[in-house]
Amino acid sequence: MARKLSVLEVLLIIFFLIVLVVDIFLLVLLLEKSSDTSFTPECPEISKSERIDCTPGQVVTEDVCTQQYKCCWETEADANIPSCFFPRNWGYEVINASDTSTGLTAQLQRLPSPSLFGNDINNALFTAEFQTSNRLHFKITDFNNVRYEVPHENVQLVNATADISNLSYHVNVTSTPFSIKIMRMSNQRVLLDTSIGPLQFAEQYLQLSFRLPSANVYGLGEHVHQQYRHNMSWKTWPIFTRDTTPTEGMINLYGAHTFFLCLEDTTGFSFGVFLMNSNAMEVTLQPAPAITYRTIGGVLDFYVFLGNTPEQVVQEYLEVVGRPFLPSYWSLGFQLSRRDYGNISGLREVVNRNRLAEIPYDVQYSDIDYMDGKKDFTVDQVAYPGLSDFAKELHDNGQKYVIMMNPGIFKDSEYDPYDNGSRKRIWILGNNGFAVGEGYPGQTVFPDYSNPACTQWWADQFAKFHTNLEFDGVWIVSYYSS
């Protein structure tokens, strides 16, 4: 006896259908979870100094460590030594590999280990290039997708004419889990061994650790630490540039240097490692000795330099990243600088006082206070009238003048440098038009120096400003945002 369904019945049917779909979804989630729980961490006896922290920067309980992260646990009283550390069976495995005359490649697949931060990349590609007899380049990229890589403006990727018939190194790949060993041929010493920790390659978390042949590690920066040689006793140094006073123990300063040099032994043999990655990162040094790089984007793009001496290593490194420019002779002389001389009289008084006292001094600076409203390419005509004459007088006395500039441009359509730059569309873009920040003059935009039109604009501003004020150098300060 057919009859039409009532509205209530239809709603009930829809309701039960929804419940069914949700149940199936939850079941699938549960199954996925249970495949996770099938992972059993391999935790052999791992000496304290060799533990690679599974939860860096976090304090976790044993339960969270072993249940959630599937890592190994050994309660450790010293908070610097990780209690929660990676098992041996984390990371990736090689699914196929091939040798070429100038390198080797290996396709990597993620082992069924848990995820630290989600969005892990399942298929990666390891590529090694024997670039010169002393320089090895290796890279770990996403097999299926293109990710951001630092542009190779100065880096000569493959030197086709380099002699690689007599390599001073050998690369040995281990399949499960994936790791590499880089050896010095002449004495068979293993310089770098990544088997100490797992490769991590997620959307926003990339990590690789190296066991080192010696604890004589130099470089990485910029940071302040008392000794030139690094302290390998569980130190983590972030690398993310900012404008701040370099006081004792200060981390994160003006420059980013992802390079370190390792002096192998008393014979002076040494090698260098450079990670070409411009994202925020940190490095951990530990007593194994070992080093771990962790970065939040891009790819793992390493260069290894096997000069026999530290000097050769640095030469090989500079060949890749570019050599520093030769500074003017005068810039090596005595210099005087401070913020806020008050006004032109205050500035003149300091110069005259030093000249009268016959103190040798080659360069006088003006910090941001010479500017009108802290805007680049302007002079505060109230406090600093006659600044151009002041610069000429310095020159008449054989001295030089350096002024400060900030790469943050005041956002005001009445302000010529901003107006001209906006018409050329040379500012860094945000999600919604030009990215706007808070800088010294107020709201600022940021020149995108990777745009050739921007470098032209920047040079034009200086050329024009220089016709009014004959400065000899500029002190360009990395940007400060309060």
Ligand X SMILES: *[C@@H]1O[C@H](CO)[C@@H](O)[C@H](O)[C@H]1NC(C)=O
Cβ-based nearer residue to ligand X, 190 or 336: 190
Place of tokens 């100490």: 196
397 neighbors 390 (Cβ within 8 angstroms): no
Q: What is the smallest separation between the CB atom of 50 and ligand X, expressed in angstroms?
A: 17
Cβ-based nearer residue to ligand X, 106 or 196: 106
364 neighbors 370 (Cβ within 8 angstroms): no
Q: What is the smallest separation between the CB atom of 70 and ligand X, expressed in angstroms?
A: 26
Cβ-based nearer residue to ligand X, 52 or 426: 426
Cα–Cα distances (Å) from 447 to 114, 254, 417, in that order, read 41, 18, 11
Q: What is the smallest separation between the CB atom of 319 and ligand X, expressed in angstroms?
A: 5
Cβ-based nearer residue to ligand X, 236 or 241: 236
- Report how far residue 181's alpha carbon sits from residue 189's, in angstroms, rounded to the nearest whole number: 10
Q: If we measure between CA atoms, which residue out of 283, 428, 385 comes closest to residue 273?
A: 283
Q: What is the smallest separation between the CB atom of 430 and ligand X, expressed in angstroms?
A: 24
Q: What is the smallest separation between the CB atom of 336 and ligand X, expressed in angstroms?
A: 18
Cβ-based nearer residue to ligand X, 106 or 291: 106
Q: What is the smallest separation between the CB atom of 156 and ligand X, expressed in angstroms?
A: 4
- Report how far residue 412's alpha carbon sits from residue 137's, in angstroms, rounded to the nearest whole number: 46
Q: What is the smallest separation between the CB atom of 465 and ligand X, expressed in angstroms?
A: 8
- Report how far residue 467's alpha carbon sits from residue 464's, in angstroms, rounded to the nearest whole number: 6
- Report how far residue 262's alpha carbon sits from residue 184's, in angstroms, rounded to the nearest whole number: 13
Q: At what angle do helices 416-424 and 452-466 cross, to 10 degrees?
A: 160
The dihedral built from the CA positions of residue 330, 336, 342 and 347, taken in this order, carries a sign that is negative
Footprint on this chain of ligand X (rule: CB under 6 A):
96, 98, 105-107, 156, 159, 161-163, 166, 168, 170, 172, 186, 231, 233, 319, 342-343, 345-346, 416, 420, 460-461, 464
Q: What is the smallest separation between the CB atom of 127 and ligand X, expressed in angstroms?
A: 8
Q: What is the smallest separation between the CB atom of 124 and ligand X, expressed in angstroms?
A: 10
Cβ-based nearer residue to ligand X, 108 or 116: 108
- Report how far residue 214's alpha carbon sits from residue 261's, in angstroms, rounded to the nearest whole number: 11
> What b-and-e string marks burial along 355-379, b requiring 16 or more CB atoms within 10 Å of the CB?
eeeeeeebbbbbbbbbbbebbbbbb
Cβ-based nearer residue to ligand X, 70 or 110: 110
Cβ-based nearer residue to ligand X, 333 or 385: 385
CB neighbours of residue 141 within 10 Å: 20
Q: If we measure between CA atoms, which residue out of 151, 131, 149, 130 comes closest to residue 140?
A: 149
Reduced to 3 states (helix: H, G, I; strand: E, B; else coil), residue 171 is strand
DSSP run (H or E) holding 32: helix 7-37
Cβ-based nearer residue to ligand X, 22 or 459: 459
